[in-house]
Structure 1
């Protein structure tokens, strides 16, 4: 089993200084997307990458923000992708609850434009790095 931190930058203009510091210490910002009047910000939990039994997982935090950029709701889940999907460059990525129970699966295409593809690329990229370093 391998655990690692995602090496990404965090931009948190909507948070107070104390919350922003705490977020920077624990979460890495990866992207934002919009759906009508709601903006979704996605973060990866530092140190939560795990590779075991031919699968890689990482904890994801999704913040739903209204047009005033005030956090409305927070969602947590595990993004899980298999080695065979990473190797093929396409397949399914599972979004599980924090106990590992499947919530929903999404299509994954390497270098795709969907949120699930971006998250999958990050997880597969971390897995590939650890494989090259002989840690997996």
Structure 2
């Protein structure tokens, strides 16, 4: 990620082992179940790609796609996301730290503007809320 810009970092501790959290991010059916996503395709390997249609509150459908830059099983994902109007994809880093039967997850991104950062941070909090709820029942 760029070292210049507007960044955010979100950290939560989840009541699930790292392997279960990893599967939630890397198995298409699992991801779709908690992320409010349809038509999920995940090829979670360096150089692999992903695509999905996010269904946001209110019912709007937003197609998203990108790639995987770094993949370290049960520990780290660095993903790109193609953003219309941007020359370069946005990057998101997902770090997992096993804490016994719990997992600390950290999401981080950097953007060119405060507005982009604020929108992405809101979306990431929404994702983490969905992930937390999914893991509580999965």
TM over 0.5: no
Q: Which has the higher helix share?
A: 2
Q: TM-score band (shorter)?
A: 0.3 to 0.5
TM-score by length of 1: 0.34
Ranked by relative contact order (alpha carbons within 8 Å, sequence separation 6 or more), the top structure is: 2
Q: TM-score, normalised by structure 2?
A: 0.34
